[in-house]
């Protein structure tokens, strides 16, 4: 059975009252090439009362303290983006689906609605690269609704985007004041001499398949206990799951043992910039890319605890590497990762705050990224599983079709232990 989503024409939601104009600088982290993208995601809610009307009104109010979000990205010179505080507003789409959430499996994978039906799109004449934020609210026949988001990674990192979404939700719930006041202050972040500028590479060399795995909390805790027994100290959920993904993928793709494989992940650096940034409220990019490399045979043949140790050692080096990079002393560009099949990048969305957004009718039952057309680098995103499950949900796009059966078999060995 096919279902239909009816969209109203996109409209601009401007700040409720006049806001400051002028241009604001972006930080060196904002200006890196790898973040010149729109991030697409959907939040699914069980029920709501006129959610589109409530959220649109709250969005207009939130754009007063978050007035840069209502502006546009401009480039004074190539590769040097800034935010022009025009007050134009953000594109908002109201939509309705002729089915219940249950009828489309709560928008779990595989999607039974096309992602284009859930996401907002600006009019054709609008340059999407200039936009900072877009939102669509789709109501379902059961009374549930989905909020489709597109945000510019140039202006927000994951924590920052979640902070803005939670601000809109607080206003929708009737808060007179925001719990966290937004802070811009991008100019206080130093600009290292080696920063990738410009646009991301438009390389589509691979055809990655999407696969979803749930890892139970019991299994994660069992591996943590094993690590503690063998190494004498604690490890994190991130260590467990990242080692599992890296090893399973390495085994699944079957590269020659001598070939190097690369693991990349983003580390939050807010705590390292404590002297420069306020304690809370900053919503710009504040992540530093970390990498681990080893021979394929080493990763495939090691114990899981040994692979976890490689990851932990990389994390322990992060502070020194980040500060050296900030001071211009590292001599390398950490944002340049090998765009090869042997590289996989993992992102932890489970704790950034998307699952805590509450417009007045409860937190989302499901949060999922919708960037399924990215084929230049293998990826895995960690999410909270649908309630009431505990543990982690892994959304992977990291192997080509020929390697999916072997990768799935490796993952199931761990997931079902």
User: What does DSSP assign to residue 246?
Assistant: H
d(CA 61, CA 19): 11
Q: Which member of 130, 214, 333, 358 is catalytic?
A: 358
Mark whether 153 is an active-site residue.
yes
Rounded CA gap, 378 and 391, in Å?
A: 23
What 3 state SS string does 300-355 have?
Answer: HHCCHHHHHHHHHHHHHHHHHHHHHHHCCCCCCCCCCCCCCCCEEEEEECCCCCHH
H helix or E strand, kind and range, residue 93: strand 90-97
Do 215 and 414 form a contact (C-beta atoms < 8 A)?
A: yes
One of 30, 40, 153, 348 is an active-site residue; which one?
Answer: 153
Copy the structure tokens of residue 382. Answer: 């960690």
CA distance 307 to 299: 6
Residue 348 bears catalytic tag: no
Closest CA relative to residue 139, chosen from 55, 54, 10, 50: 50
353, two tokens = 């705050």
The DSSP H or E segment spanning 13 is strand 11-13
Residue 83's H or E segment, with its range, is: strand 80-84
Distances (CA, A) of 218 to 153, 214, 241, 416: 34, 12, 13, 11
What is the DSSP-derived secondary structure letter of residue 365?
S
Radius of gyration of the chain measured on its C-alpha atoms: 21
- Kindly list the catalytic residues: 153, 358
């Amino acid at each position: 059975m096919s279902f239909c989503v009816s969209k109203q024409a996109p409209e601009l939601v401007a700040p409720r009252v006049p806001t400051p104009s002028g241009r604001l600088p972006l930080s060196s982290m904002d200006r890196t090439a790898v973040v010149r993208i729109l991030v697409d995601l959907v939040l699914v809610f069980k029920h709501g009362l006129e959610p589109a009307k409530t959220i649109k009104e709250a969005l207009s109010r939130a754009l007063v303290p978050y007035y840069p979000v209502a502006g546009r990205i401009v480039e004074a010179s190539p590769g040097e983006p800034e935010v022009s505080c025009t007050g134009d507003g953000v594109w908002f789409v109201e939509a309705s689906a002729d089915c219940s959430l249950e009828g489309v499996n709560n928008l779990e994978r595989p999607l039974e609605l096309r992602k284009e039906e859930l996401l907002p799109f600006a009019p054709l004449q609008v340059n999407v690269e200039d936009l900072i934020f877009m939102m669509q609210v789709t109501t379902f026949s059961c009374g549930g609704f989905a909020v489709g988001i597109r945000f510019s990674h140039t202006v927000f990192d994951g924590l920052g985007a979640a902070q803005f979404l939670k601000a809109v939700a607080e206003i929708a719930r009737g808060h007179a004041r925001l719990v966290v006041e937004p802070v811009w202050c991008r100019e206080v972040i130093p600009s290292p001499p080696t920063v990738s500028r410009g646009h991301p590479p438009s390389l589509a060399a691979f055809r990655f398949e999407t696969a979803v795995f749930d890892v139970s909390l019991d299994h994660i805790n069992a591996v943590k206990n094993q690590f503690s027994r063998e190494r004498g100290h604690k490890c994190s959920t991130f260590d467990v799951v990242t080692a599992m993904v890296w090893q399973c993928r390495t085994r699944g793709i079957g590269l020659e043992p001598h070939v190097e494989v690369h693991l990349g992940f983003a580390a939050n650096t807010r705590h390292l910039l404590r002297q420069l940034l306020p304690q809370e409220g900053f919503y710009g990019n504040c992540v530093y890319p970390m990498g681990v490399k080893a021979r394929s045979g080493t990763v495939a043949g090691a114990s899981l605890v040994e692979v976890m140790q490689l990851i932990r050692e990389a994390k322990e080096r992060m502070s020194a590497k980040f500060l050296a990079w900030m001071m211009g002393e590292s001599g390398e560009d950490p944002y340049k990762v090998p765009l090869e099949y042997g590289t996989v990048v993992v992102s932890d969305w489970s704790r950034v705050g998307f699952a805590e957004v509450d417009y007045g009718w409860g937190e989302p039952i499901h949060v999922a990224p919708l960037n399924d057309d990215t084929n230049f680098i293998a990826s895995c995103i960690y999410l909270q599983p649908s309630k009431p499950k505990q543990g982690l949900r892994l959304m992977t796009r990291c192997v080509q079709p020929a390697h999916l059966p072997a990768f799935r078999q490796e993952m199931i060995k761990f997931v079902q232990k």
